[in-house]
Structure 1
């Protein structure tokens, strides 16, 4: 039975100028990866309780490795600077609109992003890990990193940034430029300055500074929100009944809940 997304893959790769024999071969390798991933996942669970070691075992899928090797040239960075991100797909689009190149805007990244391949994310997550590493390996200058949600278990923090450090050791031209983001209730995304203002551009040299600015903004300087958002974070209206949250309430609110209000899915798909 033909895979329901085969025609989408064929049409998109053809439109992007990817040679059909290459696209056909990559498609078969991707499907082989999906079919064989379940056995690797079971092996990973049986062999170790360490999440990192389990991930490493799941990423040994030879079908996925062959597929990524075949399509790697189509991860070319067609803008001056690479972009990495965390905090929902809107963050990727924001980075692109700012003139940078995220994975999902590369030729093959745009195709893979349009597909599901399988309903079980545990069977496709390792493929995305390998594609992400291959993309990061192409860094050759400044890399802009946009963070709307800081999660140590995100692909960005646990995989892409560590790999980027290895790339940087081989190429001193590579450097990391961090941007903390906030999206307001109207859907406007801005960057957070050191004095906790929303601005068009705010750059930081280190991950820790970026994460600290984001956390402090969300917990202490979070803008007023309406009753629906207040209910979502489990906070009652402050004394006075004006429907506004106070800095004190925000300081004690759950960091994860505030991030969710900010439009973020905190965890990557299980099995990645």
Structure 2
């Protein structure tokens, strides 16, 4: 697979040694993160300090470049990544290296490979050179997208004014089609917002006012929204 997307053989060999080494070391880092830290972001940072994964990024960094004009980030399930790609944008999973890793079941334990994706995603967003389209099917302030990727993007934006964030609230209809929520709370093929808060408001309002509880494809997003609003003191 790596040969097909243009990796030299020596890079392929080295990359897989680093991935295997990283998986072997990750369990200890995960245990340390829980024992040493109480804040979730501190735990996440410690898990992502895996030296094998850090070296992997230095090795394959050039293969995280996007092959389309605009970068895409997402939250709310892998279908959202596929949707972003269908709109002409490039998520991490569609880069040469991200695509290969995404296709393989490296381990059944997500806790051993998630830190690798976190390291790769941070390296990915530093390569933004223009507009970055962000697709939200569910909003979680503790997600990698909101807690790690967007803050890293804001650092990039401070150095490069060409980088801007374009937000898309996404809703899955009962037939499985992904649509975007307009300001009037209609579903359309495209609806963009210049700020996170306006995007999240549109998504929350649509789920709160128009979501059909019989639509199981969006019920998880609706339940998460309701729980988050309730935890903030809002009525069900």
Provide the TM-score with structure 1 as the length reference. Answer: 0.79
State the 1:98 CA deviation: 0.7
Deviations 1:206-258 (A, max 9, x none): 111101100000110224747xx5xx96xxxxxxxxxxxxxxxxxxx963277
Q: 2:186 & 2:9 partners in 1: Cα distance?
A: 50
What SS does the corresponding residue of 2:89 show, helix, strand or coil?
Answer: coil
Alignment partner for residue 71 of structure 1, among 60, 75, 84? Answer: 60
State the 1:128 CA deviation: 0.6
Q: 2:205 & 2:134 partners in 1: Cα distance?
A: 19
**Corresponding residue number in structure 2 for 1:163:** 152
The yes-or-no answer on 1:153 pairing with 2:142 is: yes
Unaligned 5+ segments in structure 2 are 228-236
Alignment partner for residue 105 of structure 1, among 71, 88, 94? Answer: 94
The yes-or-no answer on 1:80 pairing with 2:69 is: yes
What SS does the corresponding residue of 1:146 show, helix, strand or coil?
Answer: strand
- Larger Rg: 1 or 2? 1
Shift in alpha-carbon separation, 1:104–1:258, aligned structure 2, 3 A: farther
**Corresponding residue number in structure 2 for 1:22:** 11
Report the RMSD for the aligned CA atoms in angstroms. Answer: 1.9
Give yes or no for contact 1:133–1:159 (8 Å, CA) kept in 2.
yes
Moved over 2 A (4+): 223-226
Shift in alpha-carbon separation, 1:257–1:209, aligned structure 2, 3 A: closer
Shift in alpha-carbon separation, 1:109–1:52, aligned structure 2, 3 A: same
Count of matched residue pairs:
225
State the 1:116 CA deviation: 2.3
State the 1:21 CA deviation: 0.7
**Corresponding residue number in structure 1 for 2:41:** 52
Provide the TM-score with structure 2 as the length reference. Answer: 0.90
Deviations 1:71-123 (A, max 9, x none): 11111111010011111111111111111111111110110101221221111
Deviations 1:57-80 (A, max 9, x none): 111111110011101111111101
Q: 2:40 & 2:173 partners in 1: Cα distance?
A: 34
The yes-or-no answer on 1:184 pairing with 2:152 is: no
Unaligned 5+ segments in structure 1 are 1-11, 234-252, 260-272
**Corresponding residue number in structure 2 for 1:91:** 80
